[in-house]
Amino acid sequence: MKYGYFDDQNREYVITDPKTPVKWINYVGSLAFGGIVDHTGGALICKGDPALNRITKYIPQLPSSEFKGETLYLRSKQGHRYKVFSPYFVPTLDPYDLYECHVGLGYTRIVSEFYGIRTEVTIFVPLGDSRMISDIQMTNVSDHPMDIDAIPVVEYTHPDALKQFTNADWVPQTMQSKAYRDEAGMIILAQYPFMYKETRVNYFTSNRRVSSFESDRRRFLGDNQYGTWANPLSLQEEELSNCEALRGDNIAALLHHLGTIRPGETTRLITQLGQDESIEKALPLINRYRDAEQVERAFKEMAVFWDTYLSKLQVETPDASMNIMLNTHNPRQCHTTKNWSRYLSLYQLGLGARGIGFRDSSQDVMSILVSMPQEGKELIKKLLHVQKRDGSAMHQFNPLTMIANEGDSREVQDAPKYYGDDHLWIVLAITAYLKETGDLAFLDEVISYYEKDKDGHSLESGTVFDHVRRAIEFTQNNVGAHGLPLLGFADWNDTVNLPAGAESLFVANLYGKALLEMIELARHLGDAQAVAQYTAYYQTMKQRVNKHAWDGKWYVRYFDVDGSPVGSHSNTKGQIYANGQSWPVISGFAPPDRAKAALDAIYRRLNTRNGIKLSTPGYNRFDPAKGGITTYPPGAKENGGIFLHANPWVIIAETIIGNGDRAFEYCDQINPVAKNDRIDEFECEPYVYPQNILGDEHAQFGMARNSWLTGTASWTYQAATQYLLGIMPTYEGLQIGPCIPRKWDGFKVTREFRNAVYEIEVKNPGHVCKGVKSVKVDGRRIEGNVVAVFGDSKTHRVEVILG
């Protein structure tokens, strides 16, 4: 509990020490408008696309003490000088009497006390809106009256976020600011690059009279910028210069004289940072949000959204840390990854062509289907728009332009320009959507393929069903020497880039899982021909995998172009890969004895107290023939690190073979809640999963990085709710098939499914891991363990006895 604690009542994490090892962040708004707020008030905000329409300049690589994007200064006169400080701690770093950053659902609230002033700032984006609001309340907690000025500040970036860093002449020549005074005499400070001045403007404004403003950073800091953010020289003047910047580093600083605040008295200031086509167009909403009541109403609406989102699935297990994650923080992180893919975090900087990842978002979508299936469907449709006619997929795309590209493969000459796995993930996402909703009509919706003519018109369209069938055919037709799927530039593991012709066992197994889904779907549709076809594909691939890929101890991970195995006990480095073992179980290709041996090998060779390593031992020198994996030292990231995304797949595999004890052990050891007590080792936010943790070959074993945007969120949520607790949507109904630790007496789940609520209570009197003995629905015994679709808006009680 060094830097903070979980407040479960308010579904917050409360940071109580601003000097966390790295910045801990929260997300506000959505990709449509929003971004990151860090725990010292810094903000990285964009609209629609962080690469192409970024608003604030936030440079994560700067030291934690530096100003980033936004801050708030307060000042009061002391003798001839002003005492200037930031209630956000950064950038003035004054000593505080209290510091709390409440990381909430869609909002951050910073509460601090400095020099007798208690400040409480609630930062959020109203639902569906294009503005970030900071609702600032200042209370005099001293015993004497104080004269207070408040100066909120933002720093702008050029909307083309990469250009900001590559051209230090063009960018400043274009950046301009202009002050508008509305009818009531209120100042709105607008900002735009010259080329956008008639089409979109950023603005910063407040609900109190602005006495003076500044839009030029050089003037604000003073002394040709030898004044600093920690001590801006202009804040020693009575007023700011009212400069409308014609170029340069644009900021927006608004000086408010709040007057005398008596002991115990509170005063309030509300700021808005937004973007619209023009100030005229923005005015009605600007005026609305100057009203504190409207701000409070918008905040409540947002709270209702989160209540509803989370209420769709709530659990009560014997494990308190699991409950905290599954009821709040894990689904919340799933919502974040669904929004931002791997685009914008403190680690994935949202610059250039990174965009939305096809593979990543296909997996993210699966975790929010229970809460927001419509949004899930919309994202699936977007993804299908960048699938190619041959069934493979473009690797990533910019959400504003929908222009896609082939990812890192573009940078390597002669490398295949596709990834072996991308297109198969969408099969899993679509079938998950169909099972959740029963919306089979979706299969008939027509969506264009990515290829276009020179006028930008798509060359071909197909139904959703056609899209998934082509995805399957692509893998079916692109196999190598062993008849196993070709790797392409890479598969899920982006960093193993073997020469063209190499084969991937990961793709083989993902293909197997996708085929299982296709067989089940075809069966549900009554399409016997498709059932037969996909069953034949499945059996053939199963046979090839078992014939070639079992090395006597475990499954190998790849075959190189010369036919040699990678991820085999015959290798000296990279002998065993976690995905090599978990996925043959998930695909159902592994016969029971091999499944058990493969998973036991993970336990012996890859497990650590901080999670399961992706592979071991790490490669110890750069080897261009292996690719990206060898750019990391042993123990880091994909090279022998604990790459968390792959952990839930092992959990799922353990539940498939019935080992609930080990499945839970794996869940528990990566639960970030428990890291709160070992935070100086872990370093990242304890309320979300990170992408990677350094493995035990590394001297900094246990240190996490790349928090928030990781497929770990979606898969741990699926692993826990659908496999461990075992509540799984199917075409026919809700299947209850838990695989839990033997010691548990049972658990409860409330889950919405196709417009009815299922109140499920599972009892485990015989203390088994798996096996459903009986199921009662509304007091009546049913056959099997699939509870019917009711769709009647009512609540149904489901009692399950294991044994």
Residues annotated as part of the active site: 494
Residue that has been written with the tokens 């400070």 in this structure: 189
Cβ(435)–Cβ(457) under 8 Å? no
Minimum CB distance to ligand GLC smaller for 343 or for 744: 343
Give the C-alpha separation, 227 to 221, whole Å. 5
Q: 3-class SS at 352?
A: coil
Q: How many CB atoms neighbour CB 587 within 10 A?
A: 23
Q: What is the DSSP string of 427-474?
A: HHHHHHHHHHH--GGGGG-EEE-S-B-TTS-BS-EEEHHHHHHHHHHH
What are 480's two structure tokens? 């190598």
Cβ–Cβ under 8 Å, residues 767 and 757: no
Phi, psi for 446 (deg, rounded to 5) = -95, 130
For residue 591, whether the previous peptide bond is cis, meaning omega lies within 30 degrees of 0, is no
**Cβ nearer to ligand GLC, comparing 342 with 388:** 342
For the bound state, the minimum distance from the C-beta of residue 491 to ligand GLC, rounded and expressed in Å, comes to 8
Q: How far is CA 315 from CA 198, 227, 318, 512, in A?
A: 51, 54, 10, 31
CB of 117 to ligand GLC, least distance (A): 43
Q: Report angle CA 738, 742, 746 to the nearest 5 degrees.
A: 55
List alpha helices for 526-678, DSSP H.
Answer: 528-548, 578-586, 592-605, 647-656, 660-670, 672-675
For residue 419, give Cα distances in angstroms to 122, 426, 493, 803: 43, 13, 10, 44
Rounded Cα gap, residues 473 and 468, in angstroms:
9
3-state secondary structure 693-744: ECCCCCCCCCCEEEECCCCHHHHHHHHHHHHHCCEEECCCEEEECCECCCCC
Residue 355 beta carbon to ligand GLC: minimum distance, rounded to whole angstroms: 11
Task: For residue 469, give the amino acid letter.
Answer: R
Query: Smallest distance from the beta carbon of 664 to ligand GLC, in angstroms?
Result: 25
Residue of this chain nearest to ligand GLC (CB atom): 494
Beta-bridge partners for 70: 154
Nearest Cα to Cα of residue 240 among 224, 216, 205:
216
Q: Measuring CA to CA, which residue among 104, 130, 129, 562 is closest to residue 120? A: 104
617 prior amide bond cis, ω within 30: yes
Cross-strand partners of 559: 503, 565
How would DSSP label each residue in 77-142? Answer: EETTEEEEE-TTSTTT----SEEEEEE-SSEEEEEEEETTEEEEEEEE--TT-SEEEEEEEEEE-S
Nearest partner of 707 among 8, 94, 10, 39, judged by Cα: 39
Q: Which is nearer to ligand GLC, 289 or 358 (CB)?
A: 358
For 24, phi then psi, to 5°, come to: -110, 135
- What are φ and ψ of residue 477, in 5° steps? -95, -5
HSE-CB at 120 with a 13 A cutoff on CA atoms is 8
What is the three-class DSSP state of 496? coil
Instruction: Name which of 102 and 359 has its Cβ closer to ligand GLC.
Output: 359
> Is the distance from CB of 490 to CB of 419 less than 8 angstroms?
yes
Tokens 């991308």 belong to residue: 422
**Nearest to ligand GLC of 104, 407 (CB atom):** 407
3-state secondary structure (DSSP) of residue 203: strand
Judged by the rule CB under 6 A, the positions of this chain that interact with ligand GLC are: 342, 357, 359-360, 492-495, 638, 691, 710
Closer residue to ligand GLC in complex, CB, 207/579: 579
Indicate the residue type of 221.
L
Instruction: Specify whether the CB–CB gap between 266 and 139 falls below 8 A.
Output: yes
Q: How far is the CB of 375 from ligand GLC (least distance, A)?
A: 21
Q: Which helix (H) or strand (E) holds 362?
A: helix 358-368
Helix axes 358-368, 373-384, angle to 10 degrees: 160
CB contact at 8 A, 331 and 307: no
